[in-house]
Amino acid sequence: MNRPALRAFAIWLLAMLAGAAIVVNSRFAADMSFFLPAKPTAEQQVLVDQIKEGVVSRLLMVGIAGGDSSQRARVSRALRQQLAVDRQFVSVQNGETASIAAERDVLLKYRYLLSPAVEPARFSVDGLRTAIADSVDRLTSPAAMLLKPYLTSDPTGELYALLSRLDAGAQPESRDGVWSSRDGKRAMLLIQTRALGSDTDGQFAAIQTIERAFAEAAGGEKVDGLSLQLSGPGRFAVQARATIQGDVTRLSLISTLAIVAVLFAVYRSLRLMTLGLMPVLSGALAGVVAVSLVHGTVFGITVGFGSALIGEAVDYSIYYFVQSGRLGAAGWRERFWPTVRLGVMTSIFGFGALLFSGFPGLSQLGLYSLAGVFTAALVTRYLLPPLAGEAHRLPDLSHFGRRLEQAIAALAALRLPALLLTVASLGYLASERSELWHPNISLLSTVTAAEAEVDAGLRADLAAPDSRYLVVVHGRDREAALQAAEQAGAALDALVAEGVIGGYDSPACFLPSIATQVARQASLPDADTLRQRLAEAQVDSPLAAGKLTPFIEAVQAARDGSPLTRAGLEGSALALVVDSLLIERPQGWSILLPLRPAGAGAALEIPSVRVREALAGRDALFIDMKGEFDTLYASYMQEAMQLSLAGLLAIVLLLGATLRSLRRLAAVMLPLVAAVVMVIAGLHAQGQSLHLLHLVGMLLIVAVGSNYALFFDRLAHADQPEPSTLASMAVANLTTAIGFGTLALSKVPVLNAIGVTVGPGAILALLLSAIFVRGRGQGR
Amino acid sequence: MTHLRFLQPLFAALLLACSLPALAAYDIGQLMNDLSRNKGGRAKFVEKKFLAVLDKPLVATGEMTYTAPDRLEKRTMTPKPETMLLEKDSLTLEREKQKLTINLASQPEALAFIDSIRGTLSGNRAALERNYGLHLSGSAEKWTLTLLPSDQKIASLVQRITVSGNRGQVRQIEYLQADGDRSLLAIEPVTTP
């Protein structure tokens, strides 16, 4: 190695080491944040928060199948017993009748501060007479047993009023004292993890703990065939991460091995092959470094895109080694580098368009590829020539190149069919345009149809909530937030009365604002006044006023007592409810009020317009999670369309400015557009649901394919035959197709979509460029 | 709704122990045989509750319909309309626009209690003897069946259930609750079809 080469190598090595240091210290993630908006609206922020830390994202649904009903019930009990004491879980429910003494005591103790019925009128003579008569009437009910013990201390029925406000909602079936599926074939549990939904490690550990506890409990039953089914957002996150990690390793390995094989077949030299991989390695590293430095977190999917980058980045060294064989480095730089550089720039424009996306995943993919391609090109241009030296000897490919030339001449016969096919594809797409793009973001999820089915089955059997509809209010402190929740609650009460919504939950039900509690205290008469009013009210009642001393004492105690605070709920499950809906943030407090649709059954909708109308003028936000997701995806899609068009325009302008001929520009663009049209028509015809990443793939076909079209443009305008150019293109196209094609093997829809679009697209771009290329000199 | 689901046992537990009607023999086997032939029908009822805390008994009236073997509907008309429907393992209460369904299978004690009614109405001796000791007196035309809980948990709800009737028709059910309060359900069939 001579001195300049040594120096270049040293600089490269240092840069690589620095890059490696950054990568080692980078944070990698494989969670939903890939899809969550970088600059969310207020509504989208709620969506993001719910996905990352909401209660629903922390619920795991568990089913126990196999064995008989009593065995399943025993395993369910054992599981609950073991998990309930584990710090990893906030609550473990299986339908066992747990002790509810703590909750009943809280409701009873604070009934006059909690009950919405507590108003001055209720404690007037008439109010008392009516309320107590109602309570006595209620004793004729089959439900009397529950009320009778409280009759003398709570004759106005506040406990009953509080209980009535609790919506029991749909309840799972029960067998042998524990929850079971509707068909009775599995026992069901609902578990809330302490780990946030965004804490994939925590979710993983929690799921492992559940699986271990199940194995132990099932082992005790000494029967085969007991199995555990588990689903929920945490499970999906863990599985998505495993899928992505598996894919990253698998795809990179496949792509690298295939490309190494191709390179070795062409170069027949270990040294050249190693050198040829240097730009690839540099590019892949630079991509991760750039993403890490700009975004802080590197998504697993981004790294997975590396296998495509490998196929693309290796092209430059192939061009160099194959084309410079006869010319030497200087000659290559002069004759071929401008064409390669133009190809690099179109790729950079293509990937660069994605940088501006508000979809963080897409923006990362753009930055990763851009940095990777750029670095690979730089390394090829400045490092390979000095390192490789002048004396690299490749097997002679010109024979291969000449064969290709003959093939291309023959391909000219396909011009008309290719044109017809393009027009036909275009017509087909035009006729199908209304149903071309799938409007649902779920297509991008790694959750398989089978997993979604298990999830839906468990969810239906547990009647588990999806918390699709939420009202969110804010306040600078807890008191202000609770007051806002009470005001929003008043508006929602009206909607419940009208039957627009089925009901809602509010932490203010169990923890009213101090203002409300003080107002209720003020409604309570003092002991003497109450005694007099009772004597008057109860004259004709079967319940004599004289028996109501416990009532008078309780009212007196509530009047003199201090308001209920969060601490007063400690130790009861009510604290859990309040905590999950009341969220402290750096800028104040937020309260979530989940809404339930009116009626029973699945897939019920709430008329958003009505709720928004009712809440108008209040500082309350109504959110339909599904609607937000749809809107979010629609905005990503629209933005991707705009960015793709902008990228396409930039590429066309760049090519136009360089080629300086409309005809040549048209000749370069025709095969690219034809390739895009055919690929998309083909995918749609095969029944693939096209989504955002297919759209991005279209842009990448143009960005990547333009390399070939440009070389054919060169060929058409060259003075002498260049069989080595053709040979290098064939090899480079093969590696690119391998790189992107490998992505088509991915189970991650984001990568798969790009793979199935760009893989075939790259090959078609080359073929069509060859078909449409005008014979040497014809273009003049 | 999620957050409140844990409160269900509260509601359900508080609701248990409700009073429900039942049917009953001379020789227990004969009585059960007669009862099991009753495939159901409609009846008016008058229910009187004697509670220590109240100066006067509470009176409720209405109609009940029994369909063998496990459907019983009790419609209270006065003083407040209320419907109770017992169907297989589910108990549904409807009152003042509120509807509550309780799955009895998840409440073993409630189930045992309900079985006293269901077992009597359908003449299911095995079900009755699972939780109660049975004592029969009188004749086929005027019999009285006494059920004494054998399980401590049930005994903490009800001391004794006394059912009387003629042949396969239950006429009166008396519940003596653990605290000494008592309810008396008189049943008058409305022409058996």
> Which tokens sit at A123?
């404690």
Inter-residue contact A257 to A103 (CB < 8 Å): no
DSSP string for A348-415: HHHHHHHTT-SSHHHHHHHHHHHHHHHHHHHHHHHTHHHHH-S---PPP-HHHHHHHHHHHHHHGGGH
What are the C-alpha distances in Å from A477 to residues A62, A433, A484, A581, A589?
A: 37, 51, 11, 15, 6
Q: Is B105 on the interface with A (CB under 8 A)?
A: yes
Query: Residues B45-83: pLDDT tens digits?
Result: 999 989 888 888 889 999 988 887 788 888 988 888 888
User: Is it true that the peptide bond before B69 is cis, omega within 30 degrees of 0?
Assistant: yes
The DSSP element (H or E) to which A193 belongs, if any, is strand A186-193
Query: H or E segment at B61?
Result: strand B58-67
Give the residue ranges of chain A where pLDDT is below 70: 1, 97-101, 142-143, 146, 164-171, 326, 390-393, 464-466, 600-603, 719-721, 774-780
Residue A676 has a pLDDT of: 95
Q: What is the DSSP string of A593-630?
A: EEEEESSSSSS----HHHHHHHHTTSSEEEEEHHHHHH
Q: Per residue in A593-642, pLDDT tens?
A: 988 888 766 567 888 888 988 888 888 889 998 888 888 888 999 999 99
Cα dist from A596 to A81, A171, A182, A233, whole Å: 31, 15, 22, 20
What is the pLDDT, as a whole number, of residue B32? 87
CB contact under 8 A, B6 and A91: yes
Does the distance separating the beta carbons of A138 and B106 come in below 8 Å? no
Contacts of B20 in chain A (CB under 8 A): 142
Q: What are phi and psi of A9, to 5 degrees?
A: -65, -40
- Taking only the tens place, the pLDDT of each residue in B141-187 is 888 999 998 888 788 878 899 999 888 888 999 989 888 889 899 98
Nearest to A166 among B4, B89, B103 (CB): B4
Question: Residues of A with CB below 8 A from B14's CB?
Answer: 143, 145-147, 163
Give CA A224 to chain center in angstroms: 37
For residue A595, which of A587, A585, A584, A605 has the smallest C-alpha distance? A605
B180 at interface of A, judged by CB pairs closer than 8 A: no
- The answer to whether domain B2-189 has CATH 2.50.20.10 is yes
Closest by Cβ to A173, choosing from B16, B80, B103: B103
What is the C-alpha separation between A350 and A699, in angstroms, rounded? 6
- Cβ distance of A547 and B105 shorter than 8 Å: no
Write phi, then psi, for A477 (nearest 5 degrees). Answer: -135, 180
Please give the helix or strand (H or E) that residue A672 lies within, else none: helix A662-685
Residue B4 banded pLDDT, cuts 50, 70, 90: very low
Please give the pLDDT value at position A99: 54
Q: Collect all residues with Cβ–Cβ distance below 8 Å to A566 and sequence separation of at least 6.
A: A478, A511, A575, A578
Give CA–CA dist A351/A647, Å, rounded: 8
- The reported pLDDT for the residue numbered A171 is 65
* SS3 label, residue A289: helix
Q: Identify residue A106 by its one-letter amino acid code.
A: V
Contact: A93, B5; criterion CB under 8 Å: yes
CA distance readout (Å), A39 to A468, A483, A643, A647, B103 = 22, 29, 17, 22, 47
Helices (H), A443-565: 449-462, 478-498, 514-523, 527-537, 549-560
Query: Could you read off the pLDDT of A702-748 as tens digits, one per residue?
Result: 988 888 888 888 877 776 667 778 888 888 889 999 999 999 999 89
Neighbours of A310 (CB within 10 A): 28
Rg for chain B, CA atoms, rounded: 16
DSSP 3-state of A264:
helix
Burial grade of A270 (CB within 10 A; 0-12, 13-18, 19 or more) = exposed
pLDDT in tens, B101-156: 666 665 666 777 777 888 888 888 888 888 889 888 888 888 899 999 888 878 88
Please give the pLDDT value at position B101. 67
- The backbone torsions φ and ψ at residue B143, rounded to the nearest 5 degrees and listed phi first, read -110, 160
pLDDT band at B20 (very low <50, low <70, confident <90, very high): very low
- Contacts for A632 with CB less than 8 Å, ≥ 6 apart: A37, A44, A47, A441
Please give, rounded to a whole number of angstroms, the shortest distance from the CA of B107 to a CA of chain A.
6
Residue B188: pLDDT above 80?
Answer: yes
Q: CA angle, corner B48, sides to B44 and B53, nearest 5? A: 160
Write down the pTM of the prediction. 0.78
Alpha carbon distance A696, A703 (integer Å): 11
If one counts every other C-beta atom within 10 angstroms of the C-beta of residue A405, the result is 20
**Rounded-to-integer distance, Cα A70 and Cα A187, Å:** 10
Place of tokens 């630079």: A286
Cα A761 from Cα A705, distance rounded (Å): 8
Tokens of A577: 């409810």
Yes or no, beta carbons of A596 and B54 under 8 Å apart: no
A468-515 pLDDT per residue, tens: 898 999 999 999 999 999 999 999 999 988 888 888 888 998 999 999
DSSP code at position A437: B
Interface TM-score (ipTM) > 0.85: no
Please judge whether A140 and B15 are an interchain contact, meaning their C-beta atoms are less than 8 angstroms apart.
Answer: no
Write the DSSP symbol of residue A34.
Answer: G
Helices A233-267 and A200-221 sit at what angle, rounded to 10 degrees? 110
Q: Please give the distance of CA A431 from its chain centroid, rounded to a whole number.
A: 32
Torsion of CA A542, A545, A547, A549, to 10 degrees: 150
Q: Which residues of B touch A138 (CB under 8 A)?
A: 80
pLDDT at A195: 92
Structural domain boundaries in chain B: 2-189
Say whether B58 and A136 touch across the interface (CB within 8 A).
yes
Amino acid B24: pLDDT? 39
Q: What is the pLDDT of residue B81?
A: 87
Can you tell me the distance from the alpha carbon of A223 to that of A708, in angstroms, rounded to the nearest whole number? Answer: 64
Domains and CATH numbers, chain A: 3-29+237-435+661-772 (1.20.1640.10), 54-170+459-625 (no CATH)
